[in-house]
Each structure stands twice: as C-alpha cells, then as structure tokens.
C-alpha cells in the first residue's frame, strides 16, 4: 500500500538525497533546499517519519505490531464522538458535541473536535482523540504549506483529495484500532456554495449532499437533520438545525454529550462562507443551545414535522 509511511518508495517525490532532483551545485546537507514537492506530509515522511500521526517514534508500523493483550488499552483511549455538517445558503455549517469517552467512562467533557483547516474550510473528526488531534494538525500545516510554497491555495477538491491520501497513510495504524475518520467541509469559491466531504478508514472522499453526520451518535443526528433540513436555509437556521441534531444524538447515544448548562459547555460550531471560516464565540453557541434546551422543556423530542395526509 503506497502511503506516506512507506519511506522506501522511489520517484520524484521520494525526497531522499539521491532522488530529490537538486539544483546544480552542492547545497548544505539537511538544509531543506532543492525540494521538489509542495506537500508537507510527503516531506515529513522522508525527513522524520516518526513525526507522522499514529506512528510510534522510530518504530515501524506493520502487521504484528498491534496493541498487546485484549485491546483494552485501546478501548480506554479517549474517543471523540458526534459531528454534524449541513450546507446552507452560500456556505456550510459544521458542529460537534464536546464529549470524549474512554470505554464506558466520560474521558472529557469539553473536548473540541471542530477546527479551522484554512481560510475557506473546516475539519472535524471522530475516533481516537490523540491520533485525531495530530492528524488535524498535520492537515492544517499541509494546506498552509502548499499555499505558501505555491503562492495559491489548493482547490476545494484538491484539499479533499489530499485528506483522503493522508487517511490512507494512516491505514496501518487504523488496522490496529487507532481509527480516525474526519469530516471535511469548505466553501467553494468557484460555485459559491458550501460542500461536505466524508471519508472512511481507507480514504475517500465521498461528497455528501445537503447534510451529513459521523461518529457514534451520527445515526440519530442524521435522522434529526433529515427532518429539519430545508434547502438553502440561512446560516442561523442551519446552525439551529445542527444544534437540534446534536441534542437528539446526545438524547439517544450515551457517548454524545448534550449542552452542559451547569458547566456552560456548549457545542463547537463553525461556519464557512464567502467571508471565510468563523467559529462561533461561546456566547453565541450558548444562545443556540439555550433556545434548544428551552424548547425541549415543553416538547422533549424536539420540533415535530407537520403531516398532511394526501386525500
């Protein structure tokens, strides 16, 4: 499997001393000069593969290197849970709950799983917490690195494809249970609309229409969004629909956290529009969460869809 863990590959992107296609004349060793690729992850694989996510420092990842015992150590790692995304009028909304679980325990109440990946995109993840954090850090650097090297940002499809390639690179770790599945959203400047890309452990991307959800509570969140989603909604309504969906996920899935009014912990919500990435400040996400919670006091199952029997 060709992946960025595979340091042995040859070719123009291998990055090794022998094949890096240096400029004429000698250049200092270890000077990063004469590089032929604008990918940070590819460079990292040749420079210091131990820095790649999910890979023990200096130790190879391969079959038989799995966690010892019955895998309980793995189960006890914090896992991030539910993420929802929905497109809106000229943009897209991404929201995540705040819970991380380790087995049946709540590992963290205030974990953040929604991140800015660059000016016009956002990324979130479900799966192993530590691997996910490293993975997202690498992806953020990857996008910015390309933009600086080339003097222009990657296209939205380019970013989505790049992410797929990086997930594939994580396959060996995923096979041991360190699974990270991202959900990627962005504003497409060419078509003036928000777009959603989902992935599996082998990569992707799968472009999703209208809305999508990942993680343990995704089944419930997606069901809720299906009933609440309206095409081309304004941003505010879409955010509200996402918060409702997260509430429904928390209602039925033990690993998803609802709005925590006592500790004032609310979902992390980000919007990506023509104005760029924006993460809602706590005060604003609190408003949405408070409204949802207040409504649920009178109708605990949330808004009901009106039904009309066609006669």
Partner 1 sequence: MPFGYVSPAQAMRDKAEYARQGIARGRSCVTLQYEGGILLMAPNPSTALHKISEIYDRIAFAAVGRYPEYENLRKAGITYADITGYQFDRHDVTARSLANYYAQNLGTIFTENLKPFEVEIVVAEVGEQPDGDQIYRISFDGSVTDEPGYVAFGGQADQVSAVLKERYSPGMSLTAAFGAALAALSASGNGERVEIKASQLEAAILDRTRDHRAFRRILAARLEGLIRDSSPDSKTDQDTTAETPPSDGDGPAQPV
Site residues (CB under 8 A) for partner 1?
23, 25-28, 31-35, 40, 43-44, 47-48, 51, 137-138, 141, 144-145, 148-149, 151
- State the nearest-atom distance from the C-beta of 23 to partner 1, in Å: 6
Q: CA–CA separation, 81 vs 134, rounded Å? A: 17
Structural tokens at position 5: 């863990």
Q: CA–CA separation, 165 vs 205, rounded Å? A: 9
Are residues 213 and 84 in contact, defined by beta-carbon separation less than 8 angstroms? Answer: yes
- C-alpha radius of gyration, the chain, whole number: 21
Selected catalytic residue, list 37, 81, 87, 191: 81
- State the nearest-atom distance from the C-beta of 73 to partner 1, in Å: 26
User: By C-beta, is 16 or 71 nearer to partner 1?
Assistant: 16
Q: CA–CA separation, 60 vs 29, rounded Å? A: 25
- State the nearest-atom distance from the C-beta of 227 to partner 1, in Å: 37
Q: CA–CA separation, 229 vs 210, rounded Å? A: 8
User: By C-beta, is 23 or 307 nearer to partner 1?
Assistant: 23
User: By C-beta, is 106 or 112 nearer to partner 1?
Assistant: 112
Instruction: Find tokens 């006669």 and name the residue.
Output: 311
Helix, strand, or coil (residue 122): strand
- State the nearest-atom distance from the C-beta of 59 to partner 1, in Å: 18
> Active-site residue 101, yes or no?
no
What element of type H or E holds 115?
strand 114-118
Q: CA–CA separation, 134 vs 209, rounded Å? A: 28
User: By C-beta, is 13 or 290 nearer to partner 1?
Assistant: 13
Name the residues annotated as catalytic. Answer: 81
């Amino acid at each position: 499997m060709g992946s960025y863990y595979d340091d042995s590959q040859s070719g123009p992107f291998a990055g090794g001393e022998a094949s890096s296609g240096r400029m004429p004349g000698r250049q200092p060793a270890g000077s990063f000069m004469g590089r032929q690729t604008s990918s940070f992850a590819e460079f990292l694989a040749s420079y210091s593969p131990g820095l790649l996510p999910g890979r023990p420092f200096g130790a190879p990842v391969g079959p038989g290197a799995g966690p010892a015992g019955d895998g309980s150590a793995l189960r006890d790692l914090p896992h991030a849970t539910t993420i929802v995304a929905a497109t809106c009028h000229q943009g897209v909304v991404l929201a995540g709950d705040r819970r991380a679980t380790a087995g049946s325990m709540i590992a963290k109440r205030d974990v953040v799983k929604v991140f800015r990946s660059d000016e016009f995109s956002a990324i979130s993840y479900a799966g192993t917490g530590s691997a996910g954090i490293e993975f997202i850090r690498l992806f953020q650097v990857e996008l910015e690195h390309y933009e600086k090297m080339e003097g222009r940002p990657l296209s939205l499809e380019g970013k989505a494809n790049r992410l797929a390639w990086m997930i594939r690179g994580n396959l060996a770790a995923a096979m041991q249970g360190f699974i990270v599945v991202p959900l990627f959203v962005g504003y497409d400047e060419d078509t003036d609309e928000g777009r959603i890309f989902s992935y599996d452990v082998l990569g992707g991307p799968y472009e999703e229409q209208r809305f999508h959800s990942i993680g343990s509570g995704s089944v419930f969140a997606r069901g809720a969004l299906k009933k609440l989603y309206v095409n081309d909604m304004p941003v505010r309504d879409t955010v509200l629909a996402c918060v409702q969906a997260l509430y429904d996920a928390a209602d039925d899935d033990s690993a998803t956290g609802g709005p925590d009014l006592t500790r004032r912990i609310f979902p992390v919500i980000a919007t990506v529009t023509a104005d760029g990435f924006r993460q809602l400040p706590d005060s604003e996400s609190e408003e949405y969460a408070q409204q949802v919670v207040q409504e649920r006091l009178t109708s605990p199952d949330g808004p009901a869809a009106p039904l009309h029997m066609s006669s």
